[in-house]
Structure 1
């Protein structure tokens, strides 16, 4: 199956990010997953990543904020699949992936990360999120996310929220037999926001059986 042209244009960057991720994960793969043939494991993951890329659904390309989520996180599906085949327990896979992702995020300069966080929390971005949330309900792309923008009530401490009613990763996992590794993908969200100076609070997920994921965002206090 051919890769969608939008993803093909980003293929080099995605593959480079995966190789970097595997280099960062190597010590943990040795010490916690008890794997020794790192060259073989890395090749196996990159081969699986090529399969995952062709499975990745197109959800609107540059016009959809969710394309970036797929491009940044879908590689963890490949890592999870390979580690499961090697008998690594799911909680260990989750820990390794989360710590690897955090280490990768922290290689970006702090000033850039915090600037991205401020942009995400800005009024302008909140307005954009409202627009994209409304558009998501049109379900132009069946494999996409569907979500609502949530404004805080008078007693709420968060600045804004998103309720995900349908999740592209859940749909992907159901289609390709990855349901048991799906919660590990959900676990990556907290560090993705924290490294940008944002506190994510979430009490439930679609992957965990709830009818929506309740993301609530607020700024972390500056050090």
Structure 2
């Protein structure tokens, strides 16, 4: 059985949290966070591209729903689907074990940097016609995360 994404995040945090804190101390928080965000962004963008190619599903709703089942494995996320169509997948995360983990560490800002910012980079990997909108996260203190994926048909970007 493969290791769940939440377990991967917990294991990675053992190395990444002290590394990012050391980078912040050395380079300053803004510069270190930008470096981490850009580096991880490239990695997650490639992950999104590979995922999208592997799915080969015409339906955005089916593909993104499948991805979030992977992230939700081992009771990591509780979420309500708001809309699932060929060109949209909208849902609200009501409970997030990733946020609970980083909040228990006393590092929700690093949790946002290391976990939540990956969502946008991964969505970029899905293609230029796929857009993610999210206005709030549990990691940053909201009572839910509002994910809205849409395919913008006919728009060139």
TM-score, length basis structure 1: 0.51
Question: Whole-Å Cα distance in 2 between the matches of residues 193 and 100 of structure 1?
Answer: 16
Tell me whether 1:196 sits opposite 2:126 in the alignment.
yes
Q: RMSD in angstroms over aligned alpha carbons?
A: 3.8
Residue 213 of structure 1 is matched in structure 2 by: 145
**How many matched pairs?**
146
Structure 1 unmatched ranges of 5 or more: 8-66, 153-157
Given that 2:60 and 2:88 are in contact with CA atoms closer than 8 Å, whether structure 1 keeps it comes out as: no
Q: Which residue of 2 aligns with 1:39?
A: none
Distance (Å, rounded) in 1 between the aligned partners of 2:47 and 2:135: 29
Q: Is the CA contact (8 Å cut-off) linking 2:134 and 2:148 kept in structure 1?
A: yes
Residue 53 (structure 2) aligns with? 115
Q: 1:191 to 1:165 in 2, by over 3 A?
A: same
Q: Describe the SS at the equivalent of 2:142.
A: coil
Q: Which protein, 1 or 2, shows the higher relative CO under an 8 Å CA cutoff with sep ≥ 6?
A: 2
| Greater percentage in strand | 2
Deviations 1:117-151 (A, max 9, x none): 75394454467689x6xxx7xxx74xx21111111
**Residue 84 in structure 1 maps to residue 21 in structure 2:** yes
Q: Structure 2: where are the runs of 5+ without partners?
A: none
CA distance in 2, matches of 1:129, 1:176: 26
Give the alignment of 1:12-23 within 5 angstroms: none
Instruction: Judge conservation of contact 1:80–1:93 (CA < 8 Å) in 2.
Output: no
Q: 1:125 to 1:114 in 2, by over 3 A?
A: closer
Query: Post-superposition shift, 1:168?
Result: 1.7
What does 1:18-167 correspond to in 2, within 5 Å? Answer: 67-68=4-5, 71=8, 75=12, 78-86=15-23, 87=25, 88-105=27-44, 112=50, 114-116=52-54, 119=57, 121-122=59-60, 124-125=62-63, 141=75, 144-151=76-83, 159-167=88-96
CA distance in 1, matches of 2:45, 2:103: 31
Measure, in 1, the Cα distance between the counterparts of 2:9 and 2:57: 19
Higher Cα radius of gyration: 1
User: Where does 1:181-192 land on structure 2 (aligned, <5 Å)?
Assistant: 181-185=110-114, 186-192=116-122
Q: CA deviation at 1:102?
A: 2.9
The answer to whether the Cα contact below 8 Å between 2:77 and 2:97 also exists between their aligned partners in 1 is yes
Give the whole-Å Cα distance in 2 for the aligned partners of 1:127 and 1:104. 21
